[in-house]
Every structure is written in structure tokens, then in C-alpha cells.
Structure 1
Amino acid sequence: MALSGHAGPPPFVRLAAHAVRWRLLSELARGDLRVRELVALVGHPQNLVSYHLRLLRSSGLVTSRRSSFDGRDSYYRLDLARCAHALAAAGSALHPALRLVPAEPAITTGDSAPPSVLFVCTGNSARSPIAEALTRHRAGGRAEVASAGSHPKPRLHPAAVRVLRRQYGIDIAGRRPRHLDTMTGGRFDYVISLCDKVREVCPEFDGRPRRLHWSMPDPAAGDGTEGDRAFERTAAEIDTRLRYLLPVLAPTPHQEVRP
């Protein structure tokens, strides 16, 4: 590759170099947000924020989903995998040796307590138990993980059990959904909501955990004609998000044992 070529900056560099768009990317890297939340965070009028969101959406870096809590609203999400590829391409365009390498999980034990994560959704029968199981599997014991629901179902959805066993070799058949109320006395470093409805009712927790939101449709909400495919997509999306969460999970100083 010639280092003195006359091509302009790669598309990602041109797009992300704008101050407002960079701020939007930075906020969405932390979790899914609505337009009014982004307006408050970046401190610019909604029409300007919406304009830059349209540009980011047209690039494929940002996608949106209709809120399951309020169908008139949408959550915006940063596609971290696409960002990773775009950043790697930008580095390679400048010099082959600058190609970025994905970060390895950085969570450690040692003198620090492992980070604790709580995943919440409505029924605790599909999305949050999938996230709990995949996090425990990927973290290899270096994180404490739990999940719960605001209105737990009587049992796990059979398709969630099948997909985890078939696609990831994880068996959660013996697990039962838990109520969110059983977690209110616990201390967590991260509380991650996976559905728009539970985000509105999720209680506060001691220790001021970091709150993240991943806006994900309920894979059980369809008419059943898709079989397990909706659950496979849900698990794959959660697994992708975890690849970018695990490297930034921070261990905390030793304190009381968490549930």
C-alpha cells in the first residue's frame, strides 16, 4: 500500500470527525437511547440531532428500533461491530501496521472483587436469562451475573433453552425465572435492561450501579411461524454486545459479598 496516496479520508473518519456526530457516537456506545435523551446529553436542538442521526443511520453505523413501551418512540443503537470494522479499515488506509486488533476481555480478579452484572427484562424467560448465561460463559467466572424480570413467567421459554444448548453448548433447563423484587437488596456494578418496558419500572439499587439499556424486541412476541429463528437472532445480538461489554467491565474494591 502506498503511504502517499491522494485518496481522501475514509468514510468513517469523515463522518465521525464532526463534533456533534462524534458526541452522538460516544453516547450511543454506552447504550441505546431515545432522541430526547440524546438532545439532553449533547446540548443541541432536536432538529440538529435528528439531522446528524439520519447521516449516521444512512452510513449503517446507527440503527433504530420502535420502542415496545411507547410505539411512537424509537431507540437508537450504535452497531459496535460495524464501527470496529470501520475503524480497522481507517487504520489500514493510513498504514498497514495500524490495523486495529479487537480488545481482549480485561476483567480481572486479584485484589478486586469481580464485577457484578444484573440483566433485567419483563418476563425473565428469554432475553435476560440468555444474557446471564452468555455472560457467565464468556466471562469464565470473572464476573458475577444474575437476571430477573418485572413480571416473571412461570418458566423459561423452551426456545431460549434450545438455542443456548444447540448454538452455544449452555444448559439452563434447570433455571427458573426470578422476580426483580428479589434483587432490590443486592449491589451491582452494572444493571442492564433488555426491554423498553422494564426500563421504565426498574428500581434503583444501592451503590449507584452503571445503568445501560439494550433495546431488544421480545423473541417470543411473534406468531410462532419463525420457530427458533427469533431466539437465535436475539442470542446472537446479545453475544455481539457482550464482546464489547466484557473488555470494559471494571472490577470493584472488596466489599460485602453480593447475591
Structure 2
Amino acid sequence: MVSSTLGAPAFLHLAAHPVRWRLLSALAASDLRVRELVGLVGETQNLVSYHLRLLRDGGLVTATRSTLDGRDTYYHLDLDRCSEGLASSGGSLHPALRRHADDAGALGPFPPVAVLFVCTGNTARSPIAEALLRTATGGQVDVASAGSHPKPRMHPGTVRVLREQFDIDITGWHPRHLDSVAERHFDVVITLCDKAREACPDVADHPRRIHWSIPDPAANGDAPAGDVFTRTATDIHRRVVHLLPVLTTEFVTR
């Protein structure tokens, strides 16, 4: 984390700048590219890139190359680091402002909301997200996943990581095409694949669109992937956890 030169906690010093705060606010909703951020914050690309670099150096934002063609970069807000920064900033002002994770309590009940996860093959990222959200909400959320170009069968790494890391059994699940859910209404559509987002930007006319830029752990086919699936599932699990309060606060009514 970048150290403060003004005596304030590092997080506040980094996040308090108006442009950086607008960038953080935009990235809190979705992973975005520079040109999209330029349009949202209303500043020049050079200025946006400068402040993004400071946020990256400070550990609040990460960047990954688009898996569509590698020319674009997607920026992602690290909500865990932001949470830590906010907690430590409050605690530095007064001990009573220290936040403890166990004070938050359990989330729920969840409103009648429907969520669709989309990637290309529907064999790894989107089914992992579907399984994790369904489990996290106890089945209260109507959740599905689909692929723009689904493959014939689920990747074995997906089945393994869900079973070993989260005790979730998806044996018997099969990839499905977006066409199979085209007639269903979804309140939130989340793309986990740069190819799906950029090549098929208009899944349907749904109220809320979110993008999670996550590399495909199944890029090497069925070859042994080592810890790739574990890292991917951990990333998706973290994002699903951050999605829960969004579902409970922004979709009270349908």
C-alpha cells in the first residue's frame, strides 16, 4: 500500500482524490477497460491511466489482459484490500471504529432475484460461479449459467475443485447454450469471460450487467492444470461473497 505523506492513513490518502474515487466507484460495479473508465469519469485517457497506475501501486486495483485479443486491459477493484484499508483507517482514528468481520452477521433472506453467469464454454468459470452462488444463498436466488459456445462436457477440473474445495457435487451437470435461457428473465447478467463480453455484448435486455474478467482455467483442455482451477475458484468465490450484499440491498423488489 502506498504510504501517506500527509499524516492520514494510506488508504484515505490514496482513495480521497476525486478522480481516483470516481474510478474506484466505477470499478466497484464491474471490471472495466480504460476507454470505458474514461467515458464514465469524464477525464482524459492520460489522466485516467495515471490515477489507475497509482491505484495499482497501492494495491487497490489489479489489471489483466483481455483474453479476446490481448490488446485491451481489464481493471478490477480488490474489495478485500479496500475493506482492510477502510477498517484500518477507522481504527487509526479511534479504537471504537475498528470493524470486525464477525460483526456483520449472516446475510439474507434474499429477494426473488435471478442471476445468469456467462462464459464461452460453460465448462469452468460460469458453472463454478453458479454452484457457489446457489450454495451461498441456500437456493434462495434463481441462478443459472450458460455459454456462448458451450463445449460437450464439463471440465473435470471444475468438478474436482468444487468437490474438494467447497464440498459441492456437480456430477451430471452439462454445459448449455445461451439460447437455452433466452426466454428467461434475469435481473443480473454476469460475464466471466472477456470473449463472451466483447464478442457477445448484448446477451439480452436485462437491468444489470456486470463483468468479471477471469482467465479460462481450462485453456489447456483436459490437461493437468495444477493449481489453476483452485486459484480461479478462489477468485470467483471471493467475488460471489462480495455480490451477496448487492443482491440483498439493490434487489429488494423485483
TM-score normalised by the chain length of structure 2: 0.91
Q: Which residue of 2 aligns with 1:184?
A: 182
Match for 2:202: what amino acid?
P
CA gap 1:117/1:223 in 2 versus in 1, 3 angstroms: closer
Q: Which residue of 2 aligns with 1:27?
A: 26
User: What SS does the aligned partner of 1:120 have?
Assistant: strand
Q: How does 1:54-69 map to 2 (within 5 A)?
A: 54-69=53-68
Q: Which residue of 2 aligns with 1:46?
A: 45
Match for 1:209: what amino acid?
P
> In structure 2, what is the Cα distance between the partners aligned to 1:223 and 1:145?
26
CA gap 1:174/1:223 in 2 versus in 1, 3 angstroms: closer
Match for 1:81: what amino acid?
D
Match for 2:109: what amino acid?
T
| 1:248 Cα deviation from its structure 2 partner | 1.2
2:138 is aligned with 1:136: no
Deviations 1:79-124 (A, max 9, x none): 1111111111111111111123444564435xxx521110000000
User: What SS does the aligned partner of 1:219 have?
Assistant: coil
| 1:205 Cα deviation from its structure 2 partner | 2.5
Q: How does 1:102-113 map to 2 (within 5 A)?
A: 102=101, 103-104=104-105, 106-109=107-110
Q: Which residue of 2 aligns with 1:196?
A: 194
Deviations 1:11-35 (A, max 9, x none): 0000111000000000001110000
CA gap 1:202/1:156 in 2 versus in 1, 3 angstroms: farther
Answer yes or no: is the 8 Å Cα contact 1:39–1:49 preserved in 2.
yes
2:217 is aligned with 1:240: no
| 1:243 Cα deviation from its structure 2 partner | 1.2
> In structure 2, what is the Cα distance between the partners aligned to 1:145 and 1:23?
30
Q: Which residue of 2 aligns with 1:221?
A: 219
Structure 1 residue ranges, 4+ long, deviating more than 6 angstroms after superposition: none
> In structure 1, what is the Cα distance between the partners aligned to 2:238 and 2:251?
21
> In structure 2, what is the Cα distance between the partners aligned to 1:213 and 1:248?
14
> In structure 2, what is the Cα distance between the partners aligned to 1:209 and 1:105?
27
Match for 2:72: what amino acid?
D
Deviations 1:45-68 (A, max 9, x none): 000000000000001110100001
Answer yes or no: is the 8 Å Cα contact 1:105–1:248 preserved in 2.
no
> In structure 2, what is the Cα distance between the partners aligned to 1:223 and 1:155?
11
Answer yes or no: is the 8 Å Cα contact 1:107–1:114 preserved in 2.
no
Q: Which residue of 2 aligns with 1:257?
A: none
2:86 is aligned with 1:93: no
Answer yes or no: is the 8 Å Cα contact 1:195–1:214 preserved in 2.
yes
> In structure 2, what is the Cα distance between the partners aligned to 1:224 and 1:147?
21
Q: Structure 2, unaligned stretches of length 5 or more?
A: 1-5
Deviations 1:131-159 (A, max 9, x none): 00000011112211000000001010001
| 1:252 Cα deviation from its structure 2 partner | 5.2
Match for 1:25: what amino acid?
L
> In structure 1, what is the Cα distance between the partners aligned to 2:86 and 2:252?
30
Match for 2:169: what amino acid?
D
The percentage of aligned residue pairs carrying the same residue is 61
Aligned residues: 244
Alignment RMSD: 1.8
Q: Structure 1, unaligned stretches of length 5 or more?
A: 1-6, 255-259
Answer yes or no: is the 8 Å Cα contact 1:154–1:177 preserved in 2.
yes
Instruction: Tell me which of 204, 208, 211 is aligned to 2:209.
Output: 211
| 1:70 Cα deviation from its structure 2 partner | 2.6
| 1:202 Cα deviation from its structure 2 partner | 4.2
